């Protein structure tokens, strides 16, 4: 239909355009869209013997997932991890970013240091933190002469893992904040200076509102990142850890079911529930964005 | 006047105090990693007295031992191949699609681009089970192809490069067309070189993501011969978790190359992350 109306130049563009997007679109369909639908389908199936074949079972997986206490526990664990990582990671990063705006000697050095954990494999990071947290021989207990079971006491293990998360993410958040801060026009601060506003006043009246789009972006990406946490948990909490139940995230539980126990139907159900949960959270965040974020 | 300069000095003092304290917090795990790596296990687990430094000898040979016994050469090779092909595929497909979405008009463009945006919003965990089944059906388990597979194309990269192409001035294209370039030539010789910084961002982002990924390599490359550094570490921890100097030496070996690359290309790393934002 549209072919007849096209000029030769439009036609050329159409041909080149489709040729250029075809690899990506094919890839997205095969690697992402089909798998997403397939996962939803598998959540209604039971994996056959030896991990082969799917037997349709309707909502049976969903009823067992919802009935299992560990599902709710791990969802709650994930939320608790998020409540440690996201606010602390953001507030500390913001303070550092603001301090690094000043004229200081060694600014680059500090920035390099804070960003360092970002280029390290979480597996290695988790290994060294596990060693630092070691109850008997660890650096932390021996330096402060304490005897805390940082990662095997169910009441505090989630905080300990959260702290590793904060340590790992500060540099990333900070770099985004620095980029956001550089976009705030300098004259605002100069004008405030003339009016005699204090540094703290300037921070809350200029920096906070004008930085809110950046802040919101970081909050949103970090919330989703925290809700899908896996690497740190997997490396720090081994299978025999007595705090595992009170700490493991929903993605950890998904990994255990789908790949360790080869119960793919059950694993698929868990991941579908996680995605729905994230979508609900994203929906509310978008609503919130319109209310609190200041765009000029 | 005096009070202002005093205030200024106090202010500066606290700024440095906070920055230095944080620097110490960031550094301690790295320092401890290295200090443990050069101890004997005896020293590492001695509580009374508690040693910060190795006694008498610094056992640098620990690194050599770990290097040999855990086949780090293979782990490095696997990781480098994995990263190389991920970056290559991502840059290649994303720059083409990004150019088409950013500069060309064609029917169906809006819908196709909507699909790209939708993919970016879906958490990637939902793709993993079927991706694993495909890799297993293709007999790509324990191969680089299997590792690279989910990263053949990138919605995020497409979006990033589309934005970059959109920002280029229009007259460049027109001038090229007048000179007789077709769309392919205009893209390859005129426009592509101008998006260099976005490509570098995407490359760094892809490489970091691949390097840090743990779950996918564990799933498709369970064998120690074919796995990556990250997943290799997880394997070692499972087997030798109580030999702390060995563990720390392997952790150091796993992260040092990326840290060196980061320190050399610092500016590109920081800018790459800042401009791409992304979902690491």
pLDDT averaged per 10 residues in sequence order, chain B, 280 residues:
72 91 95 91 75 79 89 94 97 96 94 95 94 95 96 95 91 86 89 91 92 95 93 89 89 94 89 66
Least CB-CB distance to B129: which of A12, A95, A258?
A258
pLDDT confidence of residue A2: 53
Residue in B with minimal Cα distance to A52: B133
- Weakest mean pLDDT among A37-51, A97-111, B45-59, B191-205: B45-59
For tokens 């994995």, what's the residue? Answer: B82
Would an 8 Å CB–CB cutoff place A294 in contact with chain B?
no
pLDDT in tens, A154-198: 999 999 999 999 999 999 999 999 999 988 888 888 898 888 888
CA distance B48 to B225: 40
φ/ψ of residue B228, rounded to 5: -95, 175
Q: Does A283 touch chain B (CB under 8 A)?
A: no
Per-residue burial over A13-31, b = 16 or more CB atoms within 10 Å of its CB, e = otherwise = bbebbbebbebbbebbebb
Nearest CA in chain A to B255: A120
pLDDT at position A124 over 90: yes
Return the closest-CA partner of residue B101 out of B152, B50, B164.
B164
pLDDT number for residue A227? 96
Q: How far is B267 from chain A (nearest CA, A)?
A: 10
Taking the C-alpha atoms of residue B241 and residue A128, their distance in angstroms, rounded to an integer, is: 11
Euclidean distance between CA atoms A268 and A129, whole angstroms: 31
Q: In chain A, positions 239-258, which contact chain B (CB-CB < 8 Å)? A: 251, 254-255, 258
Separation between Cα atoms, residue B224 and residue B73, nearest integer Å = 12
Out of B97, B121, B229, whose CB is closest to A21? B97
Quote the mean pLDDT of chain A.
91
What pLDDT was estimated at residue B267? 87
Distance CA A152, CA A163 (A): 15
- Chain A partners within 8 Å of B248 (Cβ): 127-128, 131
The shortest CB-CB distance from A172 to any of B119, B261, B273 is to B273
User: In the prediction, which pLDDT does B143 show?
Assistant: 95
Nearest to B279 among A92, A167, A225 (CB): A225
Is A209's pLDDT higher than 80?
A: yes
Could you tell me if B100 and A24 are in contact, meaning their C-beta atoms sit under 8 angstroms apart? no
Q: Provide the 8-state DSSP code for A235.
A: H
Can you give the pLDDT at residue A120? 94
pLDDT at residue A1, rounded to an integer: 47
Sign of CA dihedral B229, B142, A240, A118: positive
**Mean pLDDT of the A21-40 span:** 97
Please give the helix or strand (H or E) that residue B173 lies within, else none.
Answer: helix B170-178
CA torsion through residues B270, B275, B276, B277, sign: positive
**Of A275, A161, A166, A259, nearest to B231 (Cα)?**
A259
Cα B221 from Cα B145, distance rounded (Å): 11
Preceding amide of B49 cis, omega within 30:
yes
CB contacts of A165 in chain B (<8 Å) are none
Looking at residue B280, its pLDDT comes to 42
Check residues A31 and A56 and name the one with the higher pLDDT: A31
pTM of the predicted protein model: 0.91
**A52: pLDDT confidence band, cut at 50, 70 and 90?**
low
Cα torsion angle, A186, A192, A193, A197, sign: negative
Cβ(B121)–Cβ(A282) below 8 Å: yes
* Inter-chain touch A234–B93, beta carbons under 8 Å: no
Return the structure tokens found at B167.
């920002």
Collect all residues of chain B within an 8 Å Cβ-Cβ radius of residue A42.
129-130
| Cα-Cα-Cα-Cα dihedral sign, residues A170, A172, A173, A174 | positive
Provide the 8-state DSSP code for B116.
H
Q: Which H helix or E strand runs over B199? A: helix B196-212
pLDDT band at A56 (very low <50, low <70, confident <90, very high): confident
For residue A78, the chain B residues in CB contact (below 8 A) are none
DSSP state of B12: H
Residue in A25, A124, A251 closest to B255 by CB: A124
Chain B residue numbers with beta carbons less than 8 Å from the beta carbon of A25 are 97, 112, 115
% of chain A beyond a pLDDT of 70: 97
CA distance B197 to chain A (A): 16
Distance CA B95, CA B79 (A): 24
Answer yes or no: are the C-beta atoms of A294 and A213 closer than 8 Å. Answer: yes
User: Nearest CA to CA, how far is A67 from chain B (Å)?
Assistant: 22
d(CA A247, CA A167): 18
Nearest to B163 by CA among B122, B113, B90, B220: B113
CB contact under 8 A, B104 and A267: no
Question: Contact at 8 Å (CB) between A67 and B159?
Answer: no
Spell out the residues 6+ positions from residue A63 whose beta carbon is closer than 8 angstroms to its own. none
Higher pLDDT, A205 or B148: B148
d(CA A163, CA A233): 12
């Amino acid at each position: 239909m549209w072919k007849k109306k096209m000029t030769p130049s439009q036609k050329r563009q159409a041909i080149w355009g489709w040729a250029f997007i075809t690899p990506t679109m094919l890839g997205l369909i095969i690697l992402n869209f089909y798998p997403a639908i397939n996962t939803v389908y598998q959540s209604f199936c039971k994996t056959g013997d030896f991990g082969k074949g799917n037997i349709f079972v309707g909502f049976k997986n969903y009823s067992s997932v919802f009935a299992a206490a560990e599902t709710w526990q791990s969802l709650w664990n994930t939320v608790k991890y998020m409540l440690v990582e996201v606010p602390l990671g953001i507030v500390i990063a913001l303070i550092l970013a603001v301090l690094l705006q000043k004229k200081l000697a060694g600014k680059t050095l500090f920035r390099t240091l804070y960003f360092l954990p970002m280029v390290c494999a979480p597996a290695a990071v988790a290994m060294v933190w596990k060693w630092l947290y070691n109850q008997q021989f660890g650096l932390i207990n021996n330096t402060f002469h304490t005897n805390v079971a940082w990662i095997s006491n169910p009441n505090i293990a989630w905080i300990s893992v959260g702290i590793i998360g904060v340590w790992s993410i500060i540099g990333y958040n900070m770099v985004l904040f620095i980029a956001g801060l550089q976009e705030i026009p300098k004259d605002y601060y100069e004008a405030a200076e003339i009016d005699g506003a204090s540094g703290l006043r300037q921070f809350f009246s200029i920096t906070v509102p004008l930085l809110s789009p950046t802040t919101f972006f970081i909050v949103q990406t970090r919330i989703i990142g925290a809700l899908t946490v896996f690497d740190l948990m997997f490396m720090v909490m081994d299978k025999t850890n007595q705090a595992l139940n009170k700490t493991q995230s929903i993605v950890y539980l998904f990994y255990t079911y789908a790949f360790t126990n080869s119960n793919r139907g059950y694993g698929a159900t868990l991941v579908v529930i996680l995605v729905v949960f994230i979508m609900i959270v994203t929906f509310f965040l978008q609503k919130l964005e319109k209310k609190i974020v200041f765009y000029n | 006047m005096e009070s202002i300069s005093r205030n200024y000095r106090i202010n500066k003092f606290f700024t440095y105090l906070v920055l230095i304290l944080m620097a110490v917090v960031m550094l301690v795990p790295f320092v401890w990693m290295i200090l443990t790596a050069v101890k004997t296990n005896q020293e590492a687990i001695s509580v009374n007295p508690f040693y910060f430094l190795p006694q008498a000898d610094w056992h640098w040979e620990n690194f050599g031992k770990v290097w040999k016994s855990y086949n780090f050469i293979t782990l490095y090779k696997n990781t480098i191949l994995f990263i190389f092909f991920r970056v290559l595929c991502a840059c290649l497909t994303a720059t083409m699609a990004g150019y088409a979405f950013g500069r060309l008009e064609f029917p169906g463009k809006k819908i196709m681009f909507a699909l790209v945006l939708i993919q970016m919003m879906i958490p990637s965990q939902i793709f993993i089970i079927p991706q694993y089944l495909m890799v297993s059906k293709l007999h790509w388990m324990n191969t680089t192809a299997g590792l690279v597979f989910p990263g053949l194309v990138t919605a995020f990269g497409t979006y990033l490069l589309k934005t970059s192409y959109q920002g280029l001035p229009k007259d460049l294209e027109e001038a090229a067309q007048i000179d007789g370039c077709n769309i392919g030539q205009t893209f390859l010789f005129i426009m592509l070189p101008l998006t260099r910084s976005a490509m570098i961002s995407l490359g760094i982002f892809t490489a970091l993501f691949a390097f840090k990924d743990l779950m996918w390599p564990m799933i498709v490359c369970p064998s120690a011969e074919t796995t990556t550094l990250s997943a290799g570490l997880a394997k070692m921890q499972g087997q030798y978790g109580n030999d702390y100097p060995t563990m720390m030496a392997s952790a150091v070996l796993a992260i040092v190359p990326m840290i060196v690359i980061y320190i050399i290309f610092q500016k590109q790393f920081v800018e790459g992350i800042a401009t791409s934002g992304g979902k690491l």
